[in-house]
Every structure is written in C-alpha cells, then in structure tokens.
Chains A and B, each alone.
Chain A
Amino acid sequence: QSLLTQPPSMSAAPRQRVTISCSGSSSNIGNNAVSWYQQLPGKAPKRLIYYDDLVPSGVSARFSGSKSGTSASLAISGLQFEDEADYYCATWDDSLSAWVFGGGTKLTVL
C-alpha cells in the first residue's frame, strides 16, 4: 500500500483532457516537491514534471503539473494514442525517510 494514492486506471478519447491525481500527506507532498514519470510499455520511466509544475525541455507542453496542500495532479491535454502509458507520482517522505512512488495510473486512450 503506497503512501501516495493514485487511481489505478483512467481512460479518455483522443483530443480530450485528463487529470491524474496523487494524494498524500503533510509528511510527503505537503512538505516536498512532486515529480511525475511516464512509463511506456516495456520501457524505463521518463521524467515528465519536476518541482511540482515544471516541464523540462523536450517534454510536450500538453503535460502540466500542479499541487495544492497534500495533493498533486498531472494534466494531459489534447490526448494522443502515444500517451497511452503508466504514470507515476513521486516525492520524499519525511517520516519514512524514503522516496515514495504512487501506485501508478494506467492511462488508456480509447
């Protein structure tokens, strides 16, 4: 059971916007930055978002991140079939003294 809660799966049609949530607590999201990772089938994770809402160069501007209190979100606009992947949030947990990942959200583009 992860300290960061994500919906196990989501689905949406092409060109739609989807938001993936990541719920934590004051010892993790509430006190540390959140990063998001995309894992395509059979591939290594790839950083999408860091420092809660920063998009690195080379990552599509269709991806955006936000944080409020002890929850964070990843939004993907203009969904494309190539966005079908697993998405993970991550942050440091001060109580556990460990990096924690969300359980992952499998996104299906219908």
Chain B
Amino acid sequence: QVQLQESGPGLVKSSGTLSLTCGVSDDPIASLNWWSWVRQPPGKGLEWIGEIFHDGRARYNPSLKSRVSIKVDKYKNEFSLKLSSVTAADTAVYYCARLNAAIAVKLGDAWFDPWGQGILVTVSS
C-alpha cells in the first residue's frame, strides 16, 4: 500500500521560508506519475501548489510560482517543497499527494491518490 508522509517545521516566521518534505513508501518516485503539493487554509478549500516529475520537471500554480520551488530526490524516494516570503495567508495544512498520470490518456486527466495525512504549518509574526 503506497503511503506518503509529510514532515517539517510546524511553525515558520513571517517573511521566512517554509520547507517540507514528503517521503514516499512502496512506490518508486521514478515512475510515470507526478508528485504534488496541495494546501488547505483553516476552514477553507483545497489549493494546488505544484508538482514534480522524477526527471526534475516541475509545474507550479501561477499564483504562487514566484515563491515556490519543488525538488525531487530519487535516491531517498522523497520530494520537497520550499515556499519563500511567507505571510499569515500561507498558514494552512499542507498535503503531499501522488498525481496518477501513468495510465491517464493525457496529464490533464490525472487524479490525486493517495494523499499524505497533512501537516499544519503556522506562520507567526
């Protein structure tokens, strides 16, 4: 059973950089799937942050692109997220998820499964 697990600091200072890692078990990250980050502010909906392929190709939400960087480490079977210049608006539960693209006709037909349990990151002033 594929499992994803987020890890990292739960508290980040305003104007600092948020850094999270997602460990993947029972599925090689060097597959035909993409690996994603999604966040959810308290009491609000889901927002896609970005995703990465094992060869390093990444796609980002245009609204966050200037502040986001996603990297992959095939040897550790994990991928990471960095979000710079954070403010209180970046306080959210951050989820990592596998984007199932291997059997999709095109990338736009893919779906997110499974998801990690999520990690709450609070930006403090």
- Listed in ascending order, the chain A residues whose CB lies under 8 Å from chain B are 2, 31-33, 35, 37, 43-47, 50-51, 56, 88, 90-92, 94, 96-104
Contacts and interface: CB of A to CB of B under 8 A. Distances in A.
A47 B113 contact: yes
Nearest to B48: A99
Nearest to A56: B113
Given A33-B109, A101-B46, A102-B45, A44 B62 contact: no
Interface of B: 36, 38, 45-48, 51, 59, 61-62, 95, 100, 104, 106-118
Contact of A32 (B38, B46, B48, B108): B108
A44 B45 contact: no
A101 B45 contact: yes
Contact of A35 (B61, B62, B95, B112): B112
B62 A32 contact: no
Contacts of B100: 50
Q: Would you list the 6 A-B pairs with minimal beta carbon distance, nearest first?
A: A92-B108, A33-B109, A35-B111, A99-B48, A32-B108, A47-B113
B48 to A, nearest CB: 4
A68 B118 CA distance: 33
A37 B62 contact: no
B45 A103 contact: yes
A16 B58 CA distance: 44
Contact of A45 (B47, B59, B106, B112): B112
Contacts of B109: 32-33, 51, 92
Given A47-B111, A98-B62, A104 B117 contact: no
Nearest to B113: A47
- Identify which of B36, B107, B109 gathers the most chain A CB atoms within 10 Å of its CB: B109
